[in-house]
């Protein structure tokens, strides 16, 4: 780890057994130990507790030992487009400009920027990712990065492409499938991708209820998106339209279950949230990207209040300023005064891990979790101020 962000240190235990101490240990956002220790054996957390005088081990300082962050939704392959695509002309114009500029850059420029993106992700304390790739060019990079999580091959249109499910050799990173969105992919394609991911017991990711065009098309069968498909001779007459909402539409297709990750949820009502909760669907929100592209924020408070546990994602550098979960947490802290700091930390750690099927591996420092975690030099006098100071850490 050569690059560090905000003094964030990634601790990776190489010895068979080690003990790490600090002023605070955040086991979970709801279980915080003052003057605590973490005992690691064979790269697994085996014990956490309160340090007693004379406890040997590595004293990291007055700050906090905590789980690594999870960036539950990003597109590393768009990293070269940072600052290159205008947000001002609306979402469809943004997509069009993105496709043109992505095509003009070429594969090696996209890959080089993605590599820098991985460095930035890790330097800001993220140890788990849900990376979405349409071009398929970041697979090797992510598999060999040392990050945990899921690399998703995203598909759209109506015909599934070839795909192999193999992940990394150490079992930290899985490769699975993603459908782009309910309005850009045929029902048959979505069902096929979902079926293949489920057969491998892996998460299936999809953008849901993000744009107004998506909602209007699925809710009426008409609008700009219907015209767009018609102009391209794409026949959507067999799609089960109109639906009550994008969430209702995916429910009709039978693809909402605990292995589906629904991303964005910018346009959902209580009924949609209850469907997602009832089906056990995993959820991820990307509020800074939504603010930039759609001038609108997801109602995260409502998602939480109705029992969902959304992970936090940055989306890509084509729609966001950074791939740092610190920045995403600070944004949530500043724009959602009703959300408790413990919930914000949970979204950035345990909820994101749960969304990607990583809850047994990471997201907390409970016994059994991986022995790599973070030390942050954040001072605090109480556990409440500790959480606030992590979110606001500069
Ligand atoms: Zn996305």
Q: Digits of tens for pLDDT over the chain (394 positions)?
A: 345 777 889 998 777 899 999 999 999 999 999 999 999 999 999 999 998 766 678 999 999 999 999 999 999 999 999 999 998 888 888 988 999 999 999 999 999 999 999 999 999 999 999 999 999 999 999 999 999 999 999 999 988 888 888 877 777 899 999 999 999 999 999 999 999 999 999 999 999 999 999 999 999 999 989 998 898 888 999 999 999 999 999 999 999 999 999 999 999 999 999 999 999 999 999 999 999 999 999 999 999 999 999 999 999 999 999 999 999 999 999 999 999 999 999 999 999 999 999 999 999 999 999 999 999 999 899 999 999 999 998 7
Superfamily for the 69-355 domain: Metal-dependent hydrolases (3.20.20.140)
HSE of 251, CA atoms in CB hemisphere, 13 A:
19
Cα(199) to centroid of ligand 1, in Å? 24
What are the boundaries of each domain within the chain? 9-67+365-391, 69-355
Gap between the Cα atoms of 49 and 40, Å rounded:
12
- Please check whether residue 169 is in contact with residue 200, taking contact to mean a CB–CB distance below 8 angstroms: no
Query: Strands 58-59 and 17-28, how do they pair?
Result: parallel
Check for a shared fold between 9-67+365-391 and 69-355: no
3-state secondary structure of 225: helix
Cα(75) to centroid of ligand 1, in Å? 6
Cα(316) to centroid of ligand 1, in Å? 7
pLDDT at 216: 95
Cα(297) to centroid of ligand 1, in Å? 15
Torsional sign, CA 227, 230, 234, 235: positive
Q: What is the CATH number of domain 9-67+365-391?
A: 2.30.40.10
3-class SS shares of the chain: helix, strand, coil, % to 5: 35, 25, 40
Cα(77) to centroid of ligand 1, in Å? 11
What's the first-to-final CA gap in the chain, in angstroms?
20
Cα(315) to centroid of ligand 1, in Å? 5
pLDDT at 91: 85
Query: CA geometry: angle at 14 spanning 8 and 17, to 5°?
Result: 110
Contacts of 119 (CB under 8 A, 6+ apart): 3
pLDDT at 53: 62
pLDDT at 2: 46
Cα(296) to centroid of ligand 1, in Å? 16
Contacts of 307 (CB under 8 A, 6+ apart): 277
Question: Ligand 1 being an ion, which residues bring their Cβ within 5 A of it?
Answer: 315
Cα(320) to centroid of ligand 1, in Å? 11
Cα(115) to centroid of ligand 1, in Å? 18
Cα(42) to centroid of ligand 1, in Å? 36
Cα(284) to centroid of ligand 1, in Å? 10
pTM above 0.75, yes or no: yes
pLDDT at 3: 59
Cα(33) to centroid of ligand 1, in Å? 36
Cα(202) to centroid of ligand 1, in Å? 19
Cα(386) to centroid of ligand 1, in Å? 31
């Amino acid at each position: 780890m050569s690059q560090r962000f905000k003094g964030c240190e990634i601790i990776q235990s190489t010895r068979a057994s080690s003990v790490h101490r600090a002023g605070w240990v955040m086991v979970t956002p709801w279980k915080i130990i003052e003057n605590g220790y973490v005992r690691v054996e064979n790269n697994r957390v085996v014990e956490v507790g309160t340090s007693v005088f004379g406890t040997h081990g590595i004293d990291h300082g007055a700050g906090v030992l905590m789980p690594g962050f999870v960036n539950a939704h990003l597109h590393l392959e768009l990293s070269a487009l940072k600052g290159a695509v205008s947000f001002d002309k609306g979402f469809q114009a943004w997509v069009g400009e993105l496709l043109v500029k992505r095509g003009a850059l070429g594969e090696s420029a996209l890959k080089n920027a993605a590599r820098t993106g991985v460095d930035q992700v890790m330097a800001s304390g993220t140890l788990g990712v849900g990376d979405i790739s349409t071009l398929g060019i970041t697979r090797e990079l992510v598999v060999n990065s040392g990050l945990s999580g899921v690399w998703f091959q995203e598909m759209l249109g109506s015909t599934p492409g070839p795909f192999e499910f193999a992940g990394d050799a150490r079992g930290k990173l899985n490769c699975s499938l993603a459908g782009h969105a309910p309005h850009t992919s045929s029902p048959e394609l979505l069902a096929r991708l979902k079926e293949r991911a489920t057969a491998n017991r892996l998460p299936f990711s999809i953008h849901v209820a993000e744009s107004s065009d998506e909602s209007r098309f699925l809710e009426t069968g008409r609008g700009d998106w219907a015209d767009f498909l018609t102009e391209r001779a794409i026949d959507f007459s067999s799609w089960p339209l109109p639906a009550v909402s994008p969430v209702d539409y995916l429910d009709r297709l039978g693809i909402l279950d605990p292995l589906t990750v629904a991303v964005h949820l910018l346009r959902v009502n209580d009924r949609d949230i209850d469907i997602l909760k009832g089906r056990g669907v995993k959820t991820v929100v990307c509020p800074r990207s939504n603010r930039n592209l759609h001038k609108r924020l997801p109602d995260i408070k409502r998602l939480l209040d109705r029992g969902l546990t959304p992970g936090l994602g940055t989306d890509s550098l084509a729609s966001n300023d950074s791939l740092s979960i610190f920045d995403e947490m600070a944004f949530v802290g500043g724009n959602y005064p009703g959300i408790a700091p413990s919930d914000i930390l949970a979204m950035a750690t345990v909820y994101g891990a749960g969304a990607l099927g990583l809850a047994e591996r990471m997201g907390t420092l409970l016994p059994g979790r991986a022995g790599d975690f973070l030390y942050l030099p954040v001072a605090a006098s109480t556990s409440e101020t500790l959480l606030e100071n992590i979110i606001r850490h500069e």
